[in-house]
Amino acid sequence: MKSVKTDDKTERKSFPYIERLSETVTLGSEKLLDNDTPNTKPSKRSLTSESRISDIEKLSVETLNEVGDDFEEIQSFYAEMTTAKDPSVFREEAEQKSQSYFRAAENLHRAAAILVRMADETGARFNDLVKSRRKTRLKFIRRAPANAYIDLVEQQKDHFTHGLNIYKLLLIFYTGSFVGVIIELLWCLVNKGYLESRSGLVYGPFNLLYGLGAVAITAGLYRYRNRSRLLPFATGMLIGSIVEYVCSWAQEAVFGSRSWDYSGHPFNLNGRICLMYSVFWGFLGVFWLKNLYPRIAALMLKIPNKVGRIMTWVLLAFFVFNAVVTFIAILRWSQRIDGIEAANAFWRFIDLRFPDARMQRIYANMIWQ
């Protein structure tokens, strides 16, 4: 086995997830000092087939045996220290042993964190790959490719969206802005029986909230793309709720209006977010990471590098222009509601181009404070 450097800076750089996971992995070192006999038996999850036991599992069994041996050996040191007339003479030896055990525990914490990730990721990669190969009942709908497959193709092609770079995030932002509106339109049709605008921009079926949400969820969950579904669910709940709360607060602070209000829902926070929609964000995080994201990434892989780079920046220019015009139109709409007359020809042009009827049609759920 390869040796692992113990330099703190190297470990943080090479394994940034260790510090995040190490807090969740405990070895129960306190119990070793309280119980007469420590539990040093190997985990019952050990594989029975000798050929399937990894070297690291064999080493872990040896480590547990070593811990048991050390525990027995240190009992004599405890007895000797307890019966000594002057226990202070054991100060240096006790400190050395204590510090040595702490260092060993820290190393085992780190090793456990890595192994927990390896165990979870190995199973998740296998399940995702098997699921992606299964046939669906609907011939015209294919299953989403596994994220492990997307990673491999991106690397082999040296694609312009390889990894989590600015090109991929921008394309996901555009896609999320569009797909989110379409999904909410269909949701409105199913629930209310009619179509109602859910756009956030004056030009086209785009909503920046969904785009920002897609980017935030992708950026926050990307590291878990080849992991089991629990982590994406919990992280999706947190990220989605934060994005929704911040966007609601910002809209009310700038325009004095709200596009949604959850005050009537249980477990809401200032009417900006609520438990039901936070859970929805969690399911959406899993669905996005395991189903929608790999489909979008697979489509991105079909775009040539040169064309893709140019297209990304052209779309960015369009969205920036669209957002600026939208800001001006909503600002002028709020002024008209307050009875403020157009100050010059520019604002009269805005009144002509974006009258109340058009704005009300685009923002059907706008609530003015």
Q: What is the pTM of this model?
A: 0.69
State the Cα–Cα distance between residues 46 and 139, nearest whole angstrom: 41
Which pLDDT band, with edges at 50, 70 and 90, does 252 fall under? confident
The pLDDT score that the predictor gives to residue 16 is 39
27, pLDDT greater than 50: no
Q: What is the pLDDT of residue 170?
A: 97
pLDDT digits (tens, 9 = 90+) for 90-121: 999 999 999 999 999 999 999 999 898 898 99
Residues 32, 38: contact at Cβ < 8 Å? yes
Q: Which pLDDT belongs to residue 369?
A: 63
| Mean pLDDT for the stretch of residues 208-215 | 87
CB atoms within 10 A of CB 29: 15
Q: In the numeric block, which tokens belong to residue 37?
A: 């006999």
- Taking a C-beta distance cutoff of 8 angstroms, is the pair 78, 94 a contact? no
What pLDDT, on a 0 to 100 scale, did the predictor assign at position 42? 61
Judge whether residue 174 has pLDDT over 60: yes
Q: What is the pLDDT of residue 99?
A: 94
Distance CA 296, CA 176 (A): 10
Provide the pLDDT confidence category of residue 24 given band limits of 50, 70 and 90: very low
Q: What percent of the chain has pLDDT over 70?
A: 85
Q: C-alpha 334: how far from its chain's center?
A: 36
Domain regions of the chain by residue span: 8-36+56-133, 164-368
Average pLDDT over residues 140-155: 90
Q: Give dist(CA 139, CA 173) in Å, integer.
A: 30
Whether the predicted pLDDT of 342 surpasses 80: yes
Which amino acid type is present at position 285? G
So what's the pLDDT on residue 320? 97
Q: Please report which confidence band the pLDDT of residue 44 belongs to, taking 50, 70 and 90 as the band edges.
A: low
Give the confidence band of 261 by pLDDT, cuts at 50, 70, 90.
confident
Q: Where are the beta strands (DSSP E) in 185-258?
A: 257-258
- 11-25, 63-77, 296-310: least confident range: 11-25
The Cα 34–Cα 26 span in angstroms is 16
- What's the distance, CA 261 to chain centroid? 25
Residue 325 predicted with pLDDT over 60? yes
Residues 6+ apart with CB under 8 A from 127: none
Torsion of the alpha carbons at 368, 284, 314 and 304, rounded to the nearest 10: -170
The predicted pLDDT at position 60 comes to: 86
Average pLDDT estimate for 323-352: 92
Phi, psi angle pair for 258, to nearest 5°: -130, 140
Report which secondary-structure segment, H or E, holds 69: helix 55-83
What does the mean pLDDT of the chain come to? 83
Most confident of 37-51, 250-264, 269-283: 269-283
* pLDDT greater than 80 at residue 344: yes
Say how far apart CA 302 and CA 308 lie, in whole Å. 9
- What confidence tier does 136 reach under pLDDT thresholds 50, 70, 90? confident
Comparing 26-30, 169-173, 256-260, 334-338, the range with the smallest average pLDDT is 26-30
312 in Cβ contact with 171 (< 8 Å): yes
Helices of type H across 134-165? 147-157
Low-confidence winner among 39-43, 144-148, 292-296, 312-316 (lowest mean pLDDT): 39-43
Mean pLDDT of 227-235: 88
Q: How confident is the model at residue 8 (pLDDT cuts 50, 70, 90)?
A: very low
Tokens 């604002």 correspond to what residue? 347
Say if CB 195 and CB 185 are below 8 A apart: yes
Range with the poorest average pLDDT among 170-179, 266-275, 305-314: 266-275
The C-alpha atoms of residue 3 and residue 5 are separated, in whole angstroms, by 7
What's the token pair of residue 69? 């041996």
